Structure 1
Amino acid sequence: MELLLVLALSAVVLGSAVVIYGTLVRSQPSASSVVTVPLGLERMQNFYGSSATTVNVAIAPQYGALSLAEELREQFVTDTLSATAIFCLPRDGVNTWRPSVIAHNPALHDEIDTPQKFRAHIVTHASVPATLYRDYRNPLSNSVAVPQNASIFVLGFSKWPGYLKVNAIYDIDLVRFTAATEPNGFHASVKRYADAVSAPSSATLSHTGGYEVFYSPSVPNPTHSTQWGTDGFAPLFITFERAARLALRETPTTIERFKRAAERPFYFIWWPDPAARHLGAVANTFPSSDPRQAYNQIAGRTAFMFTVPMFPAL
């Protein structure tokens, strides 16, 4: 009787496991949930070092990409904990500049204590094109478009006098496709660049990891791109400055709402979430005087959010 009871209970447990497993398998994206994305030669070379013009990408939600994103999240936290400064620079195109070191002489060069000053420094002293990174300072209540891409520079201690060490660069890129001949949606990727293990003093950082995913429109079977025109993923980051900077009255006055940090400035940073089904619009009812009005819509689109110190005092 005891043996029969054990066998009966085992059958129930195994039967339940089979049902649960079947449900999970059916809810997962199938192997056929892949789209050929026409990124073009420039992006393919920049992202992957490939001479192809297209890449096959899994459609969200994609849990294989989610595991890569979690791995990259842990690496990002490790990088930021050992950093001496972090600067987020928005951009419109691809990032073509990934240096291992940046020339800086404290006796001759200005203090670098804001992302804007960091951008000005590399434009002046590293021959970086002024058009590569946007001279941009948080979303404002005006017609200035919010950048769709960003590069996060993680600086560390340098053993070379006269140079800043770049420990890692994280590139976040979102490409929107709307043409009738293209797969409608967004190609989203986050990539990490750091020193290659075999060449710790290289002049250019190497690709060390990342993830990518393709988001379909939030409107099923759209007939026109305007039907999902509010889909998107911006801003990628927000900079909160020291409250002491309120003494500097600036225009437009909406920039004042971001001066909330008591002592040290910090960022809110968001990455695309491979577990999200789409980048559809999220309700945002905050007034323009509230800093949350600039980024509240991101909360419903991703679970990948970071609070990162800038380190230098603003």
Structure 2
Amino acid sequence: MNRRVHQPGGFTSVELLLVLALSALILGGAVVTYGTLVRSQPSASSVVTVPLGLQRMQNFYGSTASTSNVAMAPQYGALSLAEELREQFVTDTLSATAVFCLPRDGVNTWRPSLIPHNPALHEELDTPQKFRAHVVANAGVSAALYRDYRNPLNDSATVPQNASIFVLGYSKWPGYLKVNAIYDIDLVRFTAATEPNGFHASVKRYADTASSLTPSTLSYTGGYEVFFPPSVPNPTSSAQWAADGFAPLFITFERSARLALRETPATIERFKRAAERPFYFIWWPDPAARHLGPVANTFASSDPRQAYNQMAGRTSFMFTTPMFPAL
């Protein structure tokens, strides 16, 4: 009679050595990864007290403070807010009747819920320049508030560092255009020895409040802000980072049919590329970027890409937005 011999269970010494070796590798990798995160955390979570001043703080956020505590880039908390704002912007523009981008140098002091417009009396608003001329002539807006500007590098004028995006919708008020939302993009450079050197960058949305039943001035509903240090660490002079910046904030592509209207300078013509519907390229500052250092531009002046080629790779927040999305 054959008797079955029972083998005791468990691991062999070779198997135990293999498991221990694998465990050491996994634990070692985890320790290295944790150490890297700990070492990088101070630079990713540094907070800068930015002296925006009473006027900007009141204008941007409705705050009575004069400074703002802002996280320094790269900042992933601000990145999540920027992603939320991106989704809101796409939602706003998808249902819009018109989108007009207006460049400016100072802060935006005009955020109306309604804009006077009588189709029987007023000119058709088919370009941002005509929209600007209309609000100056019919809404009491100062001509100095928004720049009479038509894409970068068409003349020797500096490229505006700030912009306001007007998102218009269907109106139930006869004789008025309805403003569904305004997005303000602002970059403020700080260079003084007593200031934190760098850029305060922000994108803010203004709209009617949920409880608003009548037209009024639009209110701040959300946005994001981040502080970008100079691209040259510890600059000894402003010249070392004078080329830092983030421009253009948008490019306007007009209908190609407007080529029938020959204009000067000739560089204006290169942006008449839209087959039927004019549109924009729009850029927002990216909180995940480390700085706003210069990027080489390699295109010729006859190519429209020369006006925005340096924006490639600088931000993940780039939009292609129709001027008249509802058409």
Q: Distance in 1 between matches of 2:192 and 2:207?
A: 35
Alignment of 1:221-300 (within 5 A): 221-300=234-313
User: Is the 8 Å Cα contact of residues 44 and 75 (structure 2) preserved in structure 1?
Assistant: no
Runs of 5+ in structure 1 lacking a partner?
none
1:87-127 per-residue CA deviation (whole Å, 9 max, x = no partner) reads: 00000000011111111111111111110111111111111
1:22-76 per-residue CA deviation (whole Å, 9 max, x = no partner) reads: 4334334457611111111111110121222211111111111111001101111
1:132 equivalent to 2:149? Answer: no
**1:21 CA displacement:** 4.0
Matched residue, 2:7 = none
When structure 1 is superposed on structure 2, of 166-175 and 45-54 the one drifting more is 45-54
3-state DSSP class of the match of 1:251?
coil
Amino acid in structure 2 at the alignment position of 1:268: F
Amino acid in structure 1 at the alignment position of 2:284: W
Matched residue, 1:191 = 204
Matched residue, 1:143 = 156
3-state DSSP class of the match of 2:273?
strand
1:164 equivalent to 2:161? Answer: no
3-state DSSP class of the match of 1:158?
coil
Root mean square deviation of aligned Cα: 2.1
Equivalent in 181, 184, 188 of residue 194 of structure 2: 181
Q: Distance in 2 between matches of 1:291 and 1:186?
A: 27
Structure 1 segments, 4+ long, off by >6 Å, are 2-11
Rg larger in structure: 2
User: Is the 8 Å Cα contact of residues 140 and 255 (structure 1) preserved in structure 2?
Assistant: no
Matched residue, 2:103 = 90
1:155-177 per-residue CA deviation (whole Å, 9 max, x = no partner) reads: 11111111111111000000011
When structure 1 is superposed on structure 2, of 194-203 and 63-72 the one drifting more is 194-203
Amino acid in structure 2 at the alignment position of 1:129: S
3-state DSSP class of the match of 1:71?
helix
Amino acid in structure 2 at the alignment position of 1:223: T
3-state DSSP class of the match of 1:124?
helix
**1:12 CA displacement:** 5.6
Q: Distance in 1 between matches of 2:27 and 2:214?
A: 56
Q: Distance in 1 between matches of 2:203 and 2:166?
A: 13
**Same amino acid, percent of matched pairs:** 84
1:103 equivalent to 2:116? Answer: yes
User: Is the 8 Å Cα contact of residues 195 and 201 (structure 1) preserved in structure 2?
Assistant: no
When structure 1 is superposed on structure 2, of 151-160 and 136-145 the one drifting more is 136-145
Q: Distance in 1 between matches of 2:27 and 2:40?
A: 20
User: Is the 8 Å Cα contact of residues 123 and 130 (structure 1) preserved in structure 2?
Assistant: yes
1:70 equivalent to 2:122? Answer: no
Q: Distance in 1 between matches of 2:246 and 2:213?
A: 34
Matched residue, 1:218 = 231
1:172-228 per-residue CA deviation (whole Å, 9 max, x = no partner) reads: 000011111111111000000011011143411111110001111111111110111
Aligned length: 313
The structure-2 alpha-carbon separation of the partners of 1:231 and 1:31, relative to structure 1 and needing over 3 Å to count, comes to closer
1:38 equivalent to 2:51? Answer: yes
User: Is the 8 Å Cα contact of residues 264 and 310 (structure 1) preserved in structure 2?
Assistant: yes
1:273-299 per-residue CA deviation (whole Å, 9 max, x = no partner) reads: 001001111011111101111111111
User: Is the 8 Å Cα contact of residues 157 and 165 (structure 1) preserved in structure 2?
Assistant: yes
Matched residue, 2:128 = 115
When structure 1 is superposed on structure 2, of 61-70 and 298-307 the one drifting more is 298-307
Q: Distance in 1 between matches of 2:44 and 2:279?
A: 40
Runs of 5+ in structure 2 lacking a partner?
1-9
The structure-2 alpha-carbon separation of the partners of 1:289 and 1:30, relative to structure 1 and needing over 3 Å to count, comes to closer
Q: Distance in 1 between matches of 2:212 and 2:189?
A: 36
Q: Distance in 2 between matches of 1:157 and 1:284?
A: 40
3-state DSSP class of the match of 1:144?
coil
Matched residue, 2:6 = none
